[in-house]
Amino acid sequence: MVKVALDALGGDFAPDVVIEGAVNAVNKNENLHVVLCGPEAEVKAKLEKLGYTGKGISVVDAPDPVAMDEHPVEVLKKKPHSGLVTCVALQKKGMVDASVSAGNSGAMMASCLMLLGRTTDKFSRPPIGCVIPTADRPIILVDAGANVDERAATLVDFAIAGSAFAETYFGYENPKVGLLNMGEEEHKGPAVLQEAHQLLKAAPVNFIGNIEGETLIEGVADVVVTSGFTGNVVLKMLEGFYELHKKMFGVIDTPNGRRFDEMWDYRMTGGALLLGLNGTGIIAHGRSDALAIEKAVEVAAKYAEKGVSKNVNERLLAIKDDSSEAK
């Protein structure tokens, strides 16, 4: 039985879509248990309204709401009984296997970092590893928004974490790593990217050089490394492209059309994994609907069941240790 703690008040349309998504997830997987963290009476009333009477969902009272614009550190200090902090605290106590929130992403990152802890002090800043679509297969985008103003050495850490993620989750052998830039030439882009390019050439990853936006979508790299600021912009652009495509062309009921929907609909990804932490923390989209929440819970359970975070951490430690010995 895999147990996933879910922030019932997280997201623009919470708690209704969160609870509906949780119900849909457990109804499809008898080996899954969801712990809804939110105002107990309200959550139970909505479960009753949905007609859910099964044993796949339990409720932990966590009445404090967290606004999207609240400062992450203040949330940790002043709202330990919020659904967001509670869902991570339950994992720290060993009561659940994964934690999911579609709420304040900064607060979720801070909670995971402070409560679960880093894999190693050698790893500078935990990034968000997000699965994104390309022309023929999914790849990893790292960082997708956890950090800004990174140093070149931090981008190298992102490459190592992304490589470990691609290896352990997708089974990509010796994954190809590309640095997102405005041109393929080594001297292109700001100084931090030029420096990162040189460091990546000597890093313990399969670095293929700079890649541009169009080659990202073509899927020439298995792992795309970028700053959290740029990564988040890319992520939102891909989501916007899919939604524009749906508005312009509607549903295309062909094998390729169905495959496109499955690959490019952001809701099917569910959520993104925080890398380099001692646990499984999933950040879901703030505007998640019931399907996106269902998929976020599903992917959290899959990561936990497969031991993705543990395997990524072991691989990350091995790479960092090998790199240190080489110096």
Q: What is the pLDDT of residue 308?
A: 87
**Per-residue pLDDT tens digits for 118-175:** 887 777 788 999 999 998 899 999 999 998 889 999 999 999 999 999 998 999 999 9
Query: How much is the average pLDDT of 272-285?
Result: 94
- Say what the pTM is: 0.91
**Per-residue pLDDT tens digits for 291-326:** 999 999 999 999 999 888 888 888 777 776 665 555
Whole-number percent of the chain with pLDDT over 70: 98
Taking all residues of the chain, what is their mean pLDDT, rounded to a whole number? Answer: 93
**Per-residue pLDDT tens digits for 72-91:** 999 999 999 999 999 999 99
129: its two tokens: 């590893």
Q: What is the pLDDT of residue 139?
A: 97
Q: What is the pLDDT of residue 307?
A: 87
Q: What is the pLDDT of residue 311?
A: 83
Residue 174 three-state SS: coil
Whole-number percent of the chain with pLDDT over 90: 83
- In sequence order, what DSSP letters do the residues of 191-242 get, joined into one string? HHHHHHHHHHHTSSSEEEEEE-HHHHHHT--SEEE--HHHHHHHHHHHHHHH
Which residues, at least 6 apart from 208, have a Cβ–Cβ distance to it below 8 Å? 176, 177, 178, 220, 221
Better-scored residue on pLDDT, 34 or 312 = 34
Q: What is the pLDDT of residue 322?
A: 63
CA distance 278 to 91: 10
- 97 pLDDT tier (thresholds 50, 70, 90): very high
Q: What is the pLDDT of residue 148?
A: 87
Residue 327 has pLDDT above 60, yes or no: no
Q: What is the pLDDT of residue 326?
A: 54
Q: What is the pLDDT of residue 325?
A: 57
Which residues, at least 6 apart from 43, have a Cβ–Cβ distance to it below 8 Å? 8, 15, 19, 36, 59
Domains within the chain, CATH numbers bracketed: 1-119+276-306 (3.40.718.10), 124-268 (3.40.718.10)
Q: What is the pLDDT of residue 320?
A: 64
Query: How much is the average pLDDT of 30-59?
Result: 96
- List Cα–Cα distances, 272 to 7, 27, 249, in angstroms: 15, 23, 28
β-strand partners of 4? 34, 98
- 284 pLDDT tier (thresholds 50, 70, 90): very high
Q: How far is CA 211 from the centre of its chain?
A: 22
Q: What is the pLDDT of residue 321?
A: 64
Q: How far is CA 239 from the centre of its chain?
A: 15
Q: What is the pLDDT of residue 282?
A: 97
Q: What is the pLDDT of residue 124?
A: 76
